[in-house]
């Protein structure tokens, strides 16, 4: 079944423009309600979380109206991290979980992500089925079967307590000074609280959301503020989350960054040493650095690659029975603990490694030497299909010929924004830059 509304991570767009309108959110809620209440019975429930964007109020109300009109009972969690919604959907025996967030995007964007009763994101087939319902006539339930909606006050507290349990019993963070950057997003309350209750001295950054400043000059995509704070305060570690806290970058005491590849390399090595890494395999996407693959191979471990998107990482992990995966961007998926990427819990795992090894962050953030990698984006207008243009296809073939035997080219459409992403990995940095710049210029000219 084909999908038009759903991308690699739910439905995304600019707030108050299609598809992120109140009208579409209402129909989306009603369609999801019909899909998950197909047996017609009462008592079905859905939990809804959100980040701190102003538009979340509008979309939350519209989704609630659509869901209750089809008989679903709605439990409103307020601002919580995306992984908290996955956890609470399963913990509270809900039939459906919804997160309203555009993740690392600007405040002007928003998105809607769905979780099934097992806490995992919906499959492509389930999303296509919901789209099919949207396109049909959605019959409301009789008046006496309309669902109820209420706010849940302890949802955040449940997640906070659970996150703390992911550290080994008895392990404390006493004596560690930690900068936590919450991107003025969904984790602005949860993350500092977890770290403080585990014993750390906490220096918060990006914890003053106003509806407009999510991800603005803070967070995992703009970690400079957190890095400067780490150095200025002499902190032991910085943890920088994105707007919905499902991704993370780590900052050592010198202000150096570790991306998702370096974090996964550390965790894979430690888990393998402890006999915890299932089948000796890490799952990552085609974007992960070749250096990571070489590092794992040197340790007798295996890297499996998937298409870009944490949902595809999780699908492969579940199919293969693997328990560690993620993306270079900082989605770290640990199915022993969470059903989706969890930046806070990944940060706790890094802190746990520091405590157990007695090493500084700077001794752990550089697990391997990355192969030089360059990524540039080309934005295109609605209705354009860059990858279908013959001039673009010819340019890609030419680039692959130039790179043959000495590197890797990846060119793809973003699943969340109207962007063509051009990435080249090559030991020859001059050749790498030449190929990327040439491709970008040719794509822009073709458009």
Q: How far apart are CA 8 and CA 395, in angstroms?
A: 26
Task: Confirm if 61 and 138 have CB atoms less than 8 A apart.
Answer: no
Give bridge partners of residue 134 from the DSSP assignment: none
Q: How far apart are CA 207 and CA 428, in angstroms?
A: 42
Q: What is the bridge-based pairing of β-strands 324-326 and 281-285?
A: parallel
Token pair belonging to 407:
């590197």
Q: Which of 324, 333, 327, 422 is nearest to 373 (CA)?
A: 422
DSSP 281: E
Task: Confirm if 403 and 374 have CB atoms less than 8 A apart.
Answer: no
DSSP 417: S
166: left (phi over 0), alpha (psi -120 to 50) or beta: alpha
- Which residues, at least 6 apart from 389, have a Cβ–Cβ distance to it below 8 Å? 446, 447
Task: Confirm if 185 and 221 have CB atoms less than 8 A apart.
Answer: no
- Residue 131 CA: distances (Å) to CA of 14, 37, 164, 176, 257: 19, 15, 38, 48, 40
The active-site residue, picked from 69, 103, 220, 288, is 103
The count of other CB atoms within 10 Å of the CB of residue 164 is 15
103 noted as active-site residue: yes
Q: Is it true that the peptide bond before 104 is cis, omega within 30 degrees of 0? A: no
Q: How far apart are CA 91 and CA 49, in angstroms?
A: 14
Q: Which of 185, 168, 179, 158 is nearest to 250 (CA)?
A: 179
Task: Confirm if 348 and 187 have CB atoms less than 8 A apart.
Answer: no
What sections of 4-54 are H helices per DSSP? 22-36
Q: How far apart are CA 56 and CA 15, in angstroms?
A: 9
Q: How far apart are CA 366 and CA 252, in angstroms?
A: 10
Q: How far apart are CA 106 and CA 420, in angstroms?
A: 18
Residues shown for the chain: 447
Token pair belonging to 360:
């500084």
| Catalytic positions, written as ranges | 103
């Amino acid at each position: 079944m084909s999908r038009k509304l759903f991308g690699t991570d739910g439905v995304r767009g600019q707030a108050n423009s299609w598809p992120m309108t109140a009208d579409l959110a209402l129909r989306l809620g009603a369609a999801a309600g019909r899909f998950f209440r197909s047996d017609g019975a009462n008592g079905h429930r859905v939990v809804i979380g959100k980040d701190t964007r102003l538009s979340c109020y509008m979309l939350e109300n519209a989704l609630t109206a659509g869901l209750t009109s089809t008989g679903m009972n709605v439990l409103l969690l307020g601002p919580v991290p995306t992984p908290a919604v996955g956890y609470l959907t399963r913990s509270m025996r809900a039939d459906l979980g919804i997160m309203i967030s555009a993740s690392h995007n600007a405040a002007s964007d928003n998105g809607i992500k769905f979780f099934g009763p097992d806490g995992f994101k919906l499959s492509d087939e389930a999303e296509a089925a919901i789209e099919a319902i949207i396109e049909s006539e959605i019959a409301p339930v009789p008046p006496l079967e309309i669902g109820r909606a209420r706010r849940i006050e302890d949802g955040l507290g449940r997640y906070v307590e659970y996150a703390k349990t992911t550290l080994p019993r008895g392990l404390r963070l006493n004596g560690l000074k930690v900068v936590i950057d919450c991107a003025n997003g969904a984790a602005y309350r949860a993350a500092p609280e977890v770290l403080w209750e585990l014993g750390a001295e906490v220096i918060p950054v990006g914890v003053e959301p106003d509806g407009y400043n999510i991800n603005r000059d803070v967070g995992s995509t703009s970690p400079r503020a957190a890095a400067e704070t780490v150095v200025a305060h002499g902190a032991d570690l910085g943890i920088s989350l994105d707007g919905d806290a499902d991704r993370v970058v780590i900052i050592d005491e010198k202000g150096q960054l570790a991306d998702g590849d370096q974090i996964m390399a550390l965790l894979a090595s430690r888990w393998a040493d402890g006999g915890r890494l299932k089948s000796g395999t890490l799952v990552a996407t085609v974007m992960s650095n070749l250096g990571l693959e070489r590092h794992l191979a040197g340790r007798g471990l295996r890297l499996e690659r998937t298409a870009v998107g944490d949902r595809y990482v999780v699908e492969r992990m579940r199919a293969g029975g693997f328990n560690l995966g993620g993306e270079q961007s900082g989605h770290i998926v640990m199915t022993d603990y969470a059903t989706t990427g969890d930046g806070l819990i990944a940060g706790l795992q890094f802190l746990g490694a520091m405590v157990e090894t007695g090493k500084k962050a700077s001794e752990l953030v550089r697990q391997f030497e990355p192969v030089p990698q360059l990524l540039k984006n080309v934005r295109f207008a609605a209705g354009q299909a860059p990858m279908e243009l013959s001039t673009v296809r010819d340019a890609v073939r030419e680039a692959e010929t130039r790179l043959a035997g000495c590197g890797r080219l990846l060119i793809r459409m973003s699943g969340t924004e109207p962007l063509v992403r051009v990435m080249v990995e090559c030991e020859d940095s001059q050749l790498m830059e030449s190929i990327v710049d040439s491709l970008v210029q040719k794509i822009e000219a073709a458009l």
